[in-house]
Amino acid sequence: MRKIAVFASGSGSNFQAIVDAVEAGELQADIELLVCDKPGAKVIDRARHFGIPTYSFLPKTFASKADFEKEIVSELQSYGVEFIVLAGYMRLVGEVLLKAYEGCIINIHPSYLPAFPGKDAVGQALKANVAETGVTVHYVDSGMDTGPIIEQVRIPVLPGDTEQTLQQRIQKAEHQLYPAIINKLLQKDTVGGILH
Ligand code: GRF
């Protein structure tokens, strides 16, 4: 079974969907660790509930991103983690993690990239008055939501949508898409190079 870590900063509904898929036998993976950069985040309670170990840290207590990423890498290695799933981790991944897990870090973003990268993708889509937005799963590189795209789905923006209603529609799609894609990637032979 492939050993994965999930990185999250907030509510963790995608984390929950991943855990549920593992429990249901739909995702063949061992979730070894939750990494969280917000010690009070709700996602930590979710991990505790399922007995999943958590590494939480306060970035501002470290001198640099490289310093906290070195600690993260040593935590990941102590659990034998092979693959990293970002699920609402509100931070750019730096050199140290990218080098240690090259081609083995993926992210989910609530837009049809390259449209609306970065923060508040749902608000950006509403402001732009588009008829469709989407969800994208992509490999992580040093840019902001710029890595190679793995899978995308389109989501309609409906008349009268608010950030809340649109986000709910997007998250529903995310919760189905992400565990399925993770499972597909982990079934491939290679870990340690880009899994296409
Ligand atoms: C998701 O919409 C994801 O696309 C984005 O951050 C959000 C995290 O939500 N990267 P949650 O914490 O999984 O509920």
* Strand pairing class (149-156; 132-139): antiparallel
Alpha helices in the chain (DSSP H): 13-23, 42-49, 65-78, 95-100, 121-128, 163-187
Return the pLDDT at 148.
98
Contacts of the segment 156-164: beta carbons below 8 A, 24+ positions apart: 156/131, 156/132, 157/125, 157/126, 157/130, 157/131, 157/132, 157/133, 161/126, 162/126, 163/122, 163/123, 163/126
Residue 127: pLDDT over 50? yes
Mean pLDDT for the stretch of residues 60-87: 98
Mean pLDDT for the stretch of residues 186-193: 66
Mean pLDDT for the stretch of residues 159-185: 98
Query: 2-108+136-150+171-194 domain in CATH 3.40.50.10490?
Result: no
**% residues pLDDT > 90 (the chain):** 95
Identify the residue whose C-alpha is closest to ligand 1 atom 1.
88
Question: Is 65 assigned a ligand-binding role in the annotation?
Answer: yes
Return the pLDDT at 70.
98
- 109 given a catalytic annotation: yes
Q: How far is the CA of 195 from the centre of ligand 1 (A)?
A: 23
| Domain coordinates in residue numbering, the chain | 2-108+136-150+171-194
Return the pLDDT at 189.
57
Return the pLDDT at 195.
47
- Render pLDDT for 137-169 as a digit per residue (tens, 0 to 9): 999 999 999 999 999 999 999 999 999 999 999
Report the sign of the C-alpha dihedral through residues 39, 170, 120, 141, in that order.
positive
Contact 170, 110 (CB under 8 A): yes
Give me the chain's average pLDDT, please: 96
Mean pLDDT for the stretch of residues 30-48: 97
Return the pLDDT at 190.
53
Identify the residue whose C-alpha is closest to ligand 1 atom 14.
13
Nearest to 16 by CA among 102, 107, 88: 88
Instruction: With residue 188 as reference, give the H or E element that holds it.
Output: none
Question: Is 129 assigned a ligand-binding role in the annotation?
Answer: no
